[in-house]
Amino acid sequence: MTNKVVVLGSLNVDTTLHIDQMPKPGETISAKSKTNSAGGKGANQAVAAARSGADTSFIGRVGEDSNGQFMIDALKHDGINTDHVDIDKVNGTGSAVILLDNQGQNSIMVYGGANQAMKPEMIVDSESLIDNADILISEFETPQDVTYEAFKLAKEHGVTTILNPAPASKILDGLLDVTDLIVPNETESATLTGIEAVDTDSMDQNAAKFAEMGIDNLIITVGDRGAYYHTPSGSGFVPAFKVKAKDTTAAGDTFIGAFSSQVKKDLSNVEEALVYAQKASSITVRRLGALPSIPTAEEIAAEYK
């Protein structure tokens, strides 16, 4: 069975500056090199889903500029349906500047542009697309009120909704009521619950806090350590595959996109889907860039026979 995945999210052109170490406040440093690539959390997640075999569509917005066409072409290159990517005649296409050091760690600054100009009324035109989906994913690089409208429609049509609250910010009232699964990293989880996620006990406490907030299904990604999951039927920790990272830029997005390609609508195979997602992201971190680093299902199968 092939999952039909719709991603509502951001489209950014990423500029990566390769540096020896992160600058200190007030310090001027030289970049060793510069690369440009297609990115944005939404684009990364959609490409990861598509490359793992999901029938993938995108809801988003770009500027009426060359970067916008570049992003649409990048999605189409992976067979992603872009019929619901709007053209914004006022705001430019989103962009990000990424500082990447020798250890593979990064700092990212994002300009929202057209991504942040999306309006809830846009979603009406995407109802049939959402109706036909198995999974709908969204993050916080686009306005939460747009996600809320989309998730409400999804729930009316029996579609499973996955929320990646990144970058972390206060969650819009009502949004968790129409969210089936929330997937923060450990920093985002702590920001939202006020509880540091450092071990299984504290992650259990995070799960309890999210349950109080109205969401029973949780995955916390913990970088190179792995991922914690909690559902009403059980909880556990799936360790990451140990690799030497070159660039962690799209690791979390690869994880979510790959996961969405494998998970069942009722989330009954969460642990199995998590293992697959860990395999995908372990390949991503060994490559440079966002979209260029995301593996295909064939590459994942070859790597982990």
Residue whose token pair is 């559902």: 231
Catalytic residues: 253
Task: Choose among 61, 1, 10, 12: nearest CA to 38.
Answer: 12
pLDDT at 224: 86
Q: How far apart are CA 110 and CA 164, in angstroms?
A: 17
- The pTM for the full model equals 0.93
Residue whose token pair is 């440093």: 29
Task: Choose among 44, 107, 37: nearest CA to 259.
Answer: 44
CB-CB contact of 49 with 4 (8 Å): no
pLDDT at 37: 86
Q: How far apart are CA 20 and CA 23, in angstroms?
A: 9
pLDDT at 14: 86
**Domain ranges, ordered by start, for the chain:** 4-21+32-303
pLDDT at 249: 80
pLDDT at 28: 96
Beta strand 234-239 with 226-231 is: antiparallel
Residue whose token pair is 């029996």: 158
| Annotated binding residues for K(+) | 247, 249, 284, 287, 289, 293
CATH number of 4-21+32-303: 3.40.1190.20
pLDDT 10s per residue in the chain (305 long)?
689 999 999 999 988 899 999 999 999 999 999 988 898 999 999 999 999 999 999 999 999 999 999 999 999 999 999 999 999 999 999 998 989 998 888 888 889 999 999 999 999 999 999 999 999 999 999 999 999 999 999 999 999 999 999 999 999 999 999 999 999 999 999 999 999 999 999 999 999 999 999 999 999 999 889 999 999 999 999 998 989 888 888 899 999 999 999 999 999 999 999 999 999 999 999 998 788 899 999 999 999 87
pLDDT at 7: 98
pLDDT at 288: 83
The CA-atom distances, in angstroms, between 298 and each of 19, 53, 162, 243 are 32, 10, 25, 19
pLDDT at 103: 85
| Annotated binding residues for ATP | 185, 221-226, 252-253
Task: Choose among 240, 222, 247: nearest CA to 277.
Answer: 240
| Annotated binding residues for substrate | 12-14, 40-44, 141, 253
Q: How far apart are CA 300 and CA 283, in angstroms?
A: 8
Q: φ, ψ for residue 6 (rounded to 5)?
A: -115, 130
